[in-house]
Amino acid sequence: MQSDIKRLSLILLFAPFALWIALLIILPHMGMVVLSLREKVAPRVYEFGFGNYIDFINEPIYWNTLLRTGSMSILVTFLALLIGFPIAYYIAKIAGKRSRGALFLLCLIPLWVSDLIRAFGWILLLRETGVISSFLTDIGLIDQPIEFLYNDITVVIGLVYTVILFMIVPLVSTLDGMDNAMIEAGYNLGGNGFTVLRRIIVPYAMPGIVSGCIVVFMMTAGSYLTPILLGGKNSSWFTEQIYDQFITRFNWESGAAFGFLLLAFTSIVVWIGLRLTGQTLANTVAKS
Amino acid sequence: MASSTKNQAFLLGYRAYMAAFFIFLAAPLVAAGSFAFNDSLFPALPWQGVTLDWFFNDSEPKLGMFHDRRLLRGLYYSGIIGGMVALLSVFVGTTNAFLFVRGNFPAKNFFYILMILPLVIPGVILGISILVMASNIANGVEDRFNLELEFLRPGILLVVFGQFSFVTTITSLVITARLKKFDTSLEEAALNLGASRAQVLRTVTLPFLRPAMIAAGIVAFLVSFENFNTTLFLVGSESPLTITMYDRMAKVGSTPVLNAVSFFLIVGSGLLALISVVIQRDPKS
């Protein structure tokens, strides 16, 4: 009787989970893969085959865009970690009790501001008629207005800006749980600042670092607005190719193949990252 | 002595770095928000004086956001979609929390990783995969039974499903974290005092989870509101606000009314985020 109730409640709890994962994640992705393996041979006539993937390999623009998206996303992830780690460390370990809460709040409040508004803000600052350009002309530093938009550096800065809080917030939580005595012990044993950072702090924070890196990498590789708006027509971001196939050319088969390629490529990068750092998905992203 | 001055110089440099970072963090938001108050037809310098026209003026050329029917419609649809996503994802997030904290079943770790997965799948891919499946079903039903299932075509319901598919991971994590802190002896005490299981759930466990559920609901609403990538593929004629804004930016170019919307959204989402943080804070600490 008691165990029947237990079993029933387990089934009732499992049902929403199973419906969610099966109907909105697993089946749609399987459908996407199946669709990507369909070749159009004539109007409304399809055949099974790898044609969409062969097209991808034969067209350098496609795979160049994917490689470019991947390598720029790795760069953005690395920069976000490099810039964000000291910020998180300051908030968690150096700031006084009062300012710690305030600083963390300053990171949490703008966390959910849309990419669109962030990119719009950058456009107003950086375009030829924008704030920075006109400020520099006003104080006489430059003669001609400068266009800061539509280049790769701006895209990278904009992407780092969009994702960095998703790096800092999990890092603060991880570092916050670290006992200060561990750092002091490191110094007492004769380690200098760099040794303590490398041998004690970073290993301790590794799950948080990897978790932040995974989320940031995936967000960057999957981002659409920031590269398009800040990079302009030549931003060559892979999500733009997917959109182009789906919406503009109405070639869903090829768009589905591109979607699968993006997913496979980013998953492989994440898998390699987990392998290199000796972490697993369960003890990193799941913990944050 | 020498090391303490060196340390102080280091700390000073560190503080300067922190200050620079927060300026970097604020600059685009300040730019996006403040031009809403510039009395000019373009969101650019020079500053022409302060106005509230971009919020409240009711006629062209300075049509304020609260009189712009398309923007208001976008805001309305975003609100409806966000509310539905929040309700659904908090419900499933709560059942997931009980499932993974209390339940014992085979391959639990595997299922837990499945639960995390939607958070790291790029939103564009969630969007196209759900679009493909919904269209396949709708086309199949149409071919076989000659029945048009309108709700499986791009529109509000698909947008809700698309956002719900990954927002639920966030709500599940927030509520799970809270449920893990729950002291089960409280439930046992209530059971010993003669309460039924349903009563315990209603009067002891759920009130304990309430702050996390509210916070998760707010975060779900915010993520839904600002989402663009997944929504883009699933949207029908009822465009939510981010899509409407993007269209306006692409077609009309940047106009200060977009700054007014930005200001409204930055302040609104900031306040909601603040509430979600405060509500989760332990009264003790």
Which portions of chain B are predicted below pLDDT 50? Answer: 1, 284-285
pLDDT at position A186, please? 80
Tens-place pLDDT, residues B48-80: 777 777 777 777 777 777 878 888 999 999 999
Mean pLDDT highest for which of A129-133, A239-243, B53-57, B93-97?
Answer: B93-97
- Residue B87 in 3-state DSSP? helix
Q: CA nearest B217: which of B174, B182, B176, B267? A: B174
Whole-number Å distance between alpha carbons of B165 and A158: 27
Q: Which is higher by pLDDT, B45 or A181?
A: A181
For A12-41, what is the mean pLDDT? 90
Q: CA nearest A125: which of B43, B153, B157? A: B43
Tens-place pLDDT, residues A67-105: 999 999 999 999 999 999 999 999 988 888 888 888 888
pLDDT at residue A59 is higher than 80:
yes
Whole-number Å distance between alpha carbons of A12 and A17: 9
- In this structure, how many other beta carbons lie within 10 angstroms of the beta carbon of residue B285? 5
Q: How far does A254 lie from chain B, in Å, by closest CA?
A: 12
Buried b (16+ CB within 10 A) or exposed e, B75-102: bebbeebbbbbbebbbebbbbbbbbbbe
- Secondary structure of chain A in HEC code, one letter for each residue: CHHHHHHHHHHHHHHHHHHHHHHHHHHHHHHHHHHHCEEEEECCEEEECCHHHHHHHHCHHHHHHHHHHHHHHHHHHHHHHHHHHHHHHHHHHHCCHHHHHHHHHHHHHHHHCCHHHHHHHHHHHHCCCCHHHHHHHHCCCCCCCCCCCCCHHHHHHHHHHHHHHHHHHHHHHHHHCCCHHHHHHHHHCCCCHHHHHHHHHHHHHHHHHHHHHHHHHHHHHCCCHHHHHHHHHHCCCHHHHHHHHHHHCCCHHHHHHHHHHHHHHHHHHHHHHHHHHCCCCCCCHHHC
Record: contact B124-A110, CB cut-off 8 A? no
Q: Where are the domains of chain A?
A: 54-287
Chain B CB contacts of A122 under 8 Å are: 28, 31
Q: CA nearest B279: which of B231, B217, B214? A: B214
The half-sphere exposure of A166 on its side-chain side, counting CA atoms within 13 A, is: 24
Q: Where are the alpha helices (DSSP H) in B38-122?
A: 53-56, 69-102, 108-120
Give the least confident one: A10-14, A39-43, B236-240. A39-43
Q: Where are the alpha helices (DSSP H) in B103-251?
A: 108-120, 123-145, 156-180, 184-192, 197-200, 206-226, 229-234, 241-251
pLDDT at position B1, please? 42
Q: Does B133 touch chain A (CB under 8 A)?
A: yes
Contact B81, B156 (CB under 8 A): yes
Contact A128, A204 (CB under 8 A): no
User: Tokens 């604020």 label which residue?
Assistant: B26
ipTM score assigned to the predicted complex: 0.88
pLDDT at residue A232 is higher than 90:
no
Q: Which is higher by pLDDT, A87 or A283?
A: A87
pLDDT at residue A121 is higher than 70:
yes
Q: Does B109 touch chain A (CB under 8 A)?
A: yes
Please report the residues numbered 207 through 236 in chain A whose beta carbons come closer than 8 angstroms to any beta carbon of chain B: 214-215, 218, 221-225, 229
Give the least confident one: A36-45, A153-162, A233-242, B260-269. A36-45
Assign A180 a pLDDT band (cuts: 50, 70, 90).
Answer: confident
Whole-number Å distance between alpha carbons of B194 and B203: 13
pLDDT at position A286, please? 63
Does the domain formed by B68-253 have CATH 1.10.3720.10?
Answer: yes
Q: Does B170 touch chain A (CB under 8 A)?
A: no
Record: contact A215-B122, CB cut-off 8 A? no
pLDDT at position A143, please? 80
Q: Does B226 touch chain A (CB under 8 A)?
A: yes
Chain A CB contacts of B270 under 8 Å are: 109-110, 113
- Find the radius of gyration of the CA atoms of chain B: 24
Q: Which is higher by pLDDT, A271 or B282?
A: A271
Q: Structure tokens of B35? A: 């031009």
Q: Does A157 touch chain B (CB under 8 A)?
A: no
- Find the radius of gyration of the CA atoms of chain A: 24
Contact A248, A232 (CB under 8 A): no
Q: Where are the domains of chain B?
A: 68-253
Distances (CA, A) of A119 to A67, A158, A230, B146, B269: 23, 7, 7, 45, 17
Residues with Cβ within 8 Å of residue B284, at least 6 apart in sequence:
none
- In this structure, how many other beta carbons lie within 10 angstroms of the beta carbon of residue B66? 15
pLDDT at position B285, please? 43
Chain A CB contacts of B109 under 8 Å are: 282
Q: CA nearest A255: which of A242, A265, A236? A: A242
Q: CA nearest A154: which of A71, A227, A221, A75? A: A227
Q: How far does B114 lie from chain A, in Å, by closest CA?
A: 7
Beta partners for residue B38, in sequence order: B50
Chain B CB contacts of A172 under 8 Å are: none
Record: contact B228-A224, CB cut-off 8 A? yes
Record: contact B111-A17, CB cut-off 8 A? yes
pLDDT at position B34, please? 85
Nearest CA in chain A to B91: A16
| CATH H-level superfamily of A54-287 | MetI-like (1.10.3720.10)
Whole-number Å distance between alpha carbons of A91 and A172: 7
Distances (CA, A) of A243 to A33, A224, B56, B132, B226: 17, 9, 36, 13, 19
